[in-house]
Structure 1
Amino acid sequence: MANITIMCGSVFGAAQELAELIKLTLSEVGHNTMLNIPCSTADMDNADAILIVTSTTGQGELPSNIEPFYFNAKNNMPMQTGKLFGVICLGDSSYTTYGKAGDLMQELFIELQAKEAFPMLKVDAVQTLEPETLALPWLEQWVKRL
């Protein structure tokens, strides 16, 4: 089983609730999981895989509790060569910046030379009131790639 680090950016709690459910789900099938809120670049050190669960806020910004991680990683470039990652982004497609925080995290991990295990999932609040209905099936596919 894999050591999976979950990093979460949440403003109003929906992304955090989803991250907590994902942690529980992964733990129940035997993965060693760590949920970090707030998170730091050191949280990636012992991970086999990294899962980012974030919402988008404002004009396409990252939530304030994951922003320090993002800028620290962007400035210091702690390479994650070949390490598997995934991104789940919650957002609202009625905004032109829909899912931008997920895009930022995906781009960051690609710059860090990590490998995307499965394409990013963007959960649109306009279409889905319960993000876990899309996230848990996506998670099953993501885990198969580890």
Structure 2
Amino acid sequence: MQKIAIMVGSVYGGAEYVAEQAVELLSKKGYQARWFQPPELDAVQAFAADCWLVITSTTGQGDIPDNLFPFYADCRDRFPLLTGKQFAVIGLGDSSYGDTFCAAGRQWFELLTELQGNPKADMLEIDAGETLQAEDVALPWLAEQF
């Protein structure tokens, strides 16, 4: 059974709701999906996941939410190579913010690529201006990727 580590960055709970639904979907598909709340690098590495899934909204001026930023900084600073591991990123944002739309997700995608992870697909960008319920877009995408 493949293991999937799920890390979530949320401000108002939208990304957390997507993560709850993702755990259920992935578990039904036979994966061992574990949501790390809050994510800590040592715990995520000890889980020995085959794939890292990051689901994050964007806050401020394109920033990673406070509940996910310490994990991001730890990954950036300690640089745990993900060679041979896959990753997927779901970015939630609002395109009316222009250049900062889904910027937290893009930062994660870039970092996981630098850590030599293999993307399962291009990052999924979900626009709150077009989609009221992010899970309506995220779940079909996850079902297709996994």
TM-score norm. by structure 2 comes to 0.95
CA–CA distance in structure 1, aligned partners of residues 124 and 57 of structure 2 = 12
CA–CA distance in structure 2, aligned partners of residues 18 and 44 of structure 1 = 23
CA–CA distance in structure 2, aligned partners of residues 44 and 129 of structure 1 = 34
Give the counterpart letter for 1:134 in structure 2. Answer: V
Question: Partner of 1:95 in structure 2?
Answer: 97
Secondary structure in structure 1 of the residue aligned to 2:26: helix
CA–CA distance in structure 1, aligned partners of residues 97 and 84 of structure 2 = 33
Question: Partner of 2:17 in structure 1?
Answer: 17
Question: Partner of 1:28 in structure 2?
Answer: 28
Root mean square deviation of aligned Cα: 0.9
Q: Which runs of 5+ in 1 are unaligned?
A: none
Q: Which runs of 5+ in 2 are unaligned?
A: none
Question: Partner of 1:40 in structure 2?
Answer: 40
1:135 aligned residue (130, 134, 138): 138
Report which of the two has the higher share of helix: 2
Residue deviations 1:46-72 (CA, integer Å, cap 9, x gap): 101111000000100000011001111
Residue deviations 1:60-111 (CA, integer Å, cap 9, x gap): 0000011001111111101111210000011000002100000000011001
> Post-superposition, which runs of at least 4 consecutive aligned residues in structure 1 deviate over 4 A?
none
- Check whether the contact 2:8–2:16 (CA below 8 A) recurs between aligned residues: yes
